[in-house]
Amino acid sequence: MTSRSLPVPPDPVAPRRRTVVKAAAAGAVLAAPLLAPSAARAAEAPAFLHGVASGDPLPDGVLLWTRLTPTAEAEPGSGKGPDTQVSWEIAEDSAFRTVVGRGTTTASAASDHTVKADVRGLRPASAYYFRFFVGDPSAPSATPTYSPVGRTRTAPAADSRANLRFGVVSCANWEAGWFSSYRHLAARADLDAVLHLGDYIYEYKTGEYPDAKYTVRQHRPAHEIVSLADYRIRHGLHKTDDDVRAMHAAHPIVAIWDDHEFANDAWSGGAENHSPDTEGSWAARQQAAKQAYFEWMPVRPSVAGTVYRRLRFGALADLHLLDLRTFRSQQAGVGSGAVDSADRTITGRAQLDWLKSGLAASDAQWKLVGTSVMISPVAFGSLPAHLLGPLAELLGLPQEGLAINVDQWDGYTHDRKELIAHLRDHGIRDTVFLTGDIHMAWANDVPVTAGTYPLSPSAATEFVVTSVTSDNLDDILHVAPDTVSTVAEGAIKAANRHVKWLDMDSHGYGVLDVTAERAQMDYYVISDRADKNATSAWERSYRTRTGTQKVERVQTPVL
């Protein structure tokens, strides 16, 4: 393990939901300036009201981000405000005594006054501090306006075998609760990056999801977001959240989108939550959502303006990131044989070929695949009727006859079979899928043939993280955790023997620790999504050891 300041670990034998994860001193010092009351942000423009962020780390560089409010009326989505020169600098120390890079860019209404700097020439596996400012600090009587200071980290050198550690999150619904998971990740000083697997924002109107009587806080705009201005406003709102700002200021993020960055159950030609008659063309809405996403997220657009791309973290891991919304066919009807059709795709031909060739060519020990929806097959049909209904509501599917979740890879079995066959035929080992979307935590083997598993082999493994705030089973039913879910979890595992564990009740995040010998996911849960000061507790850990293609339980988190 490379030498870093580590947080005090949780007590591995304490009951779930009780052990408080103690912050590392370095992380706490960095995050502290960002946790001031919101009223402190009401400074006169120009101002950096939305914090700073970094992302997509490379061995020699990283992408820096901020948003300037040049004048009071230049709010997100307003289209108002003058073009303004913004400077940036990156240094080896938080006092900026050893500056290693500087530059200028322009914040304009055309990009909603967001700015990015793609910095190169940095050392691998190194921490850096960065900030933005307006004005000339060297001018007489200068009073430049500075952004908060962010900390980032470059990726390891291409041949490095140093251990890696990532925070992993998904599904952060503003109205459902506070983003405490982000705060706990921000307080850690031992992460190489945070992997966000989608649903960074939600598109619904206020009070629609969750129901208004369970809404913790209201988002803006109040209506369902459809236009470019709407998506900009919603993104901007999220980056006023203290915990969002703290996470982005503490770690580089690697992000992909799922459906709610667009609309529920999005596919290439539409979405379940889109009506052309009242909301206009899907193409226009999709383009607006993508533009706002790339403006507001520290993400490099890749092929055809999507998020599928590949990042290397030394010789230890290649990270393949997927876009499972832009190219997919419309979801098939539940119970329809269309799920097996070769004419239907979740990835699109070009992306699937790109993934297959990248996996085959990779010389990294671990092939990590960021996928927004679960690839492991899961049959829900054996569940009792009183549980099928709530699960169908949770997954956004019909309330009767539910056998599979057709929004996942289960609805696109031909692509999954082709990918798994590719892994087997080319002897590609140590592939780990990292997944969000389903608002539950899972640890799965990915079987070649689910019906005969474990007699048939496992081709890969999958770790699924639960939601930051979005509804779980106990939220849907409004019952205590570990009551109704116990029956459901047992029935699902009995019908799906490759599923080694699942938690249908909690909210939280994962920490993935990768060494040459194993990849281990430590699952953490927060005490209460409705509590702004929620604590964090270690819940479970699973690992896959190199060469096994199987997950196994571990009794303690990585310390």
Rounded to the nearest 5°, which phi and psi values hold at 164?
-125, 150
pLDDT at 216 over 60: yes
Instruction: Provide the β-strand partners of residue 499.
Output: 444
Predicted local confidence at residue 495, as pLDDT: 87
What average pLDDT does this structure show over 220-249? Answer: 98
Q: Are 64 and 88 in contact (CB under 8 A)?
A: yes
Q: 490-525: string of b/e by CB count within 10 Å (b at 16+)?
A: ebbeeebebbbbbbbbbbbbbbbbbbeebbbbbbbb
Q: Are 374 and 307 in contact (CB under 8 A)?
A: no
Cα-Cα-Cα-Cα torsion 40, 46, 48, 50, nearest 10 degrees, comes to: 90
Average pLDDT across the chain, whole number: 90
pLDDT band at 339 (very low <50, low <70, confident <90, very high): confident
Residue 385 exposed, middle or buried by CB count within 10 Å (0-12, 13-18, 19+): exposed
Q: Are 420 and 359 in contact (CB under 8 A)?
A: no
Q: What is the pTM of this model?
A: 0.91
Q: Give the Å distances, CA to CA, from 92 to 2, 5, 129, 154, 164.
A: 18, 16, 6, 12, 21
Assign residue 253 a region (left: φ > 0; alpha: ψ between -120 and 50; beta: otherwise).
Answer: beta
318: tokens are 């290649």
**Taking Cα atoms as reference points, which of 415, 445, 434 lies closest to residue 258?**
434
Q: What percent of the chain has pLDDT over 90?
A: 79
d(C-alpha 441, C-alpha 523), whole Å: 8
pLDDT band at 41 (very low <50, low <70, confident <90, very high): very low
Predicted local confidence at residue 256, as pLDDT: 98
Residues in the chain: 559
Q: Could you read off the pLDDT of 146-188 as tens digits, one per residue? A: 999 999 999 999 999 999 999 999 999 999 999 999 999 999 9
What average pLDDT does this structure show over 41-47? Answer: 69
**Taking Cα atoms as reference points, which of 201, 279, 195 lies closest to residue 237?**
201
Predicted local confidence at residue 477, as pLDDT: 86
**Taking Cα atoms as reference points, which of 262, 243, 412 lies closest to residue 326?**
262
Q: 38-61: string of b/e by CB count within 10 Å (b at 16+)?
A: eeebeeebbbbbbbbbbbbbbbeb
pLDDT band at 8 (very low <50, low <70, confident <90, very high): very low
Rounded to the nearest 5°, which phi and psi values hold at 230?
-60, -50
pLDDT band at 392 (very low <50, low <70, confident <90, very high): low
pLDDT band at 6 (very low <50, low <70, confident <90, very high): very low
pLDDT at 95 over 90: yes
Q: Please, which residues have CB within 8 angstroms of residue 520's CB and are 6 or more apart in sequence? A: 512, 513, 514, 541, 542, 543, 554, 558
pLDDT at 12 over 70: no
DSSP states along 54-106: EEEEETTEEEEEEE-B-STT--TTS--S--EEEEEEEESSTT-SSEEEEEEEE
**Taking Cα atoms as reference points, which of 319, 314, 297 lies closest to residue 306?**
297
DSSP 8-class letter at 374: -
Q: Could you read off the pLDDT of 343-364 as tens digits, one per residue? A: 999 999 999 999 999 999 999 9
pLDDT at 101 over 90: yes
DSSP 8-class letter at 411: G
Q: Could you read off the pLDDT of 462-504 as tens digits, one per residue? A: 999 999 999 998 898 888 888 888 888 988 898 899 999 999 9
Task: Report helix, strand or coil for 253.
Answer: strand
Q: Are 408 and 437 in contact (CB under 8 A)?
A: yes
